[in-house]
Amino acid sequence: MSETRKAAPIRGKAHKYGDNVDTAVIIPARYLNESEPAALAAHCMEDLDKTFTSRVRPGDIMVAGKNFGCGSSREHAPLAILHAGIACVA
């Protein structure tokens, strides 16, 4: 019989964004030549929220509206979010 594990709670500051935040806003196209996660993280959300990278701390939570991550299938976007310090996108 398998054992049920309880997930550890996620604690952190919530960063709330509205609907239809697409991958071009999460990480602008001008940074797609970057491959280092830290470089991507440094520009995460900058076209929507210039202060995001200075406010985010490891373990923080991103609260997303409807259709978050829409647009092109840019694999840079989740890397930028993760390496910026976001532990959970809800």
pTM of this structure: 0.88
Residue 89 in contact with residue 21, Cβ under 8 Å?
no
DSSP-derived 3-state class of residue 52: helix
pLDDT tens, residue order, the chain (90 aa): 567 888 888 889 999 999 999 999 999 999 999 989 999 999 999 999 999 999 999 999 999 999 999 988 789 999 999 999 999 999
C-alpha–C-alpha distance, residues 18 and 2, integer Å: 39
